[in-house]
Amino acid sequence: MAAIAVPFGSALAFLVVRTDLPGRHSLEPLLLIPIFLSPVVLAFGYVVAVGPVGFFTVLSKELFGGAPWNLYTLGSITVIAGLTHIPHVYLYVSATLRSVASDLEEAASIAGAGPLRIATSVSLPMVWPAIVSSGVLVFFLGFEMFGLPLILGDPEGILVLSTYLYKLTNRLGVPSYQLMAVVAVVIMAIAFPLVFLQRRLLGVAARFVSMRGKGMARRPLPLGGFRWVAFALVVLWLIVTVGVPLSGALLRSLVTSWGEGVRLTEVLTLEHFKDLFDYPNLVRGIVNTLVIGVVGGALSVACYAAVALVSHRSQSVWTKAIDYLVMLPRGMPGLVAGLAFLWLFLFFKPIAPLRSTLFSVWIAYTVVWFAYGMRLISSALIQVGPELEEAALVAGASQAQVARNITLPLIRFGLLGSFLLVFMIFVREYSTAVYLLGPGSEVIGCFGVRLHE
């Protein structure tokens, strides 16, 4: 999954932020749609669109006598997961690229380098911290992946770690605590070497500084004849990752039944939308999800920014420890992380009344996704040269004034990118909250899993 998402996400960020890609400003909001959509919704959309009796599969059989794809394979799940996680990498790399001056790229262009050479030799190496961080985090996100393998792997019995634990819990009626504890230990054993490797790859942060005490100019690089080819590739990716599943889900919501030999015009209906009101908890779930996404997301980003600022210039043992600690919750499947928080609320009596409330769900989301929010901000902070802050300190400014008036404005794109990422993740997240939800604290993602069952 990471092998697909990282190179394509990095290339997409370069095309949109640094080049004269046609329609890049109009395309940019569309690039984030896969993050916003729940994996359960995406998987269901693919099933009704290109599954064995999906709309496009039936059309392909009628036109060509068959369909050249099989949705229910491990390869298909991997490719879909990789393509739908490209926006995660895009957010990291693009937020950092926006903070990088374009003078080095312009110098390379004047020297005769083409867009590909500039991207691979100048632009992307300058944002190597963001690329490495996004790659490690997307790799760990593969451990947590739940919705896609649950929907697409079930028909053929394909299991991943999260779906195996989920099915085992359903079969036993209670969580397998000892197995989940073992999984957590194994994940930690995998996480520590990867974080160590990340720190070694990044080396000295000063090598990646591009914002110093001078003005920055940003001019789009001309793609020449490749402009429309790049545009077509981006549109093709959007069609595959957004157009196909959403069109399938939309069509399925408008028909009473579907299969081979069924005429679309004979089964169209709007009755399903009336049935929506038969679920009284659905509206409350939508409101709760938006509250966690908007309010909880903003509070979480404030926490991430505070920790990132404190550890920004420090090379203490605590800074290194933070790098390792924030990665551990994200490496665990959401079910395991959620169970850990359930134990915390059960055994730590002062906070026991908060269990099964929106606050407990927000705390779990904030900690589990800490690495995602903080890494994006940290990647932007690395681009800020220390002399800007040192000059303000010499002039008599306090640390708080330096952070408020200099550092935070310079990393505003990183902060915005972090909020967008956290908001969209909080809105679609559900596996972490499975053991923490109660009456009145439902979130929208859990309804999709219940309807699948």
Q: How far apart are CA 52 and CA 50, in angstroms?
A: 7
pLDDT at residue 200, as a whole number: 64
Q: Are 428 and 445 in contact (CB under 8 A)?
A: yes
Neighbours of 104 (CB within 10 A): 16
**Is residue 123 within 8 Å of 97, Cβ to Cβ?**
yes
CATH assignment at residue 185: 1.10.3720.10
pLDDT grade for 215, boundaries at 50, 70 and 90: very low
Tell me the CA distances in angstroms from 372 to 149, 211, 294, 316, one per residue in order.
22, 23, 17, 22
Give the domain range for residue 23. Answer: 2-452
pLDDT band at 212 (very low <50, low <70, confident <90, very high): very low
- Do 165 and 333 form a contact (C-beta atoms < 8 A)? yes
Q: What is the mean pLDDT of residues 427-436?
A: 80
What span, in angstroms and rounded, lies between the C-alpha atoms of 435 and 87?
A: 28
Q: Are 341 and 436 in contact (CB under 8 A)?
A: yes
Between 147 and 81, name the one with better pLDDT.
81
Q: Which range, of 97-101, 224-228, 304-308, averages the lowest pLDDT?
A: 97-101
The pLDDT, as a whole number, for residue 85 is: 92
Q: Is it the case that residue 64 has pLDDT exceeding 50?
A: yes
**pLDDT score recorded for residue 22:** 92
Q: pLDDT tens across 174-197, in order?
A: 656 676 667 667 766 776 676 666
Whole-model pTM: value is 0.75
Q: Which amino acid is at 430?
A: Y
The predicted pLDDT at position 330 comes to 67
Q: 448 pLDDT band (50/70/90 cuts)?
A: low
What is the total count of domains within the chain? Answer: 1
Number of Cβ within 10 Å of residue 69's Cβ equals 13
Residue 169: predicted pLDDT: 67
Q: 180 near 335, Cβ under 8 Å? A: yes
**Model confidence pLDDT, tens digit, residues 4-56:** 999 999 999 989 988 889 988 888 889 988 887 878 888 889 998 998 888 88
Higher pLDDT, 332 or 70: 70
**CA 306, 307, 312, 313: dihedral to nearest 10 degrees?**
90
Residue written as token pair 């669109």: 49
Please check the confidence at residue 206 and state whether its pLDDT lies above 50. no
What is the C-alpha separation between 284 and 29, in angstroms, rounded? 27
Are the C-beta atoms of residues 44 and 249 closer than 8 Å to each other?
A: yes
pLDDT digits (tens, 9 = 90+) for 130-160: 788 788 878 878 877 878 888 898 888 888 8
Instruction: Summarize pLDDT for 306-320 with one digit per residue, the tens.
Output: 888 877 766 677 776
Percent of the chain with pLDDT over 70: 82
In the predicted structure, residue 276 carries a pLDDT above the cut 70: no
DSSP string, 258-290: --TT--GGGSB-SHHHHHGGG-THHHHHHHHHH
Q: What is the pLDDT of residue 105?
A: 73
**pLDDT, mean of residues 224-236:** 92
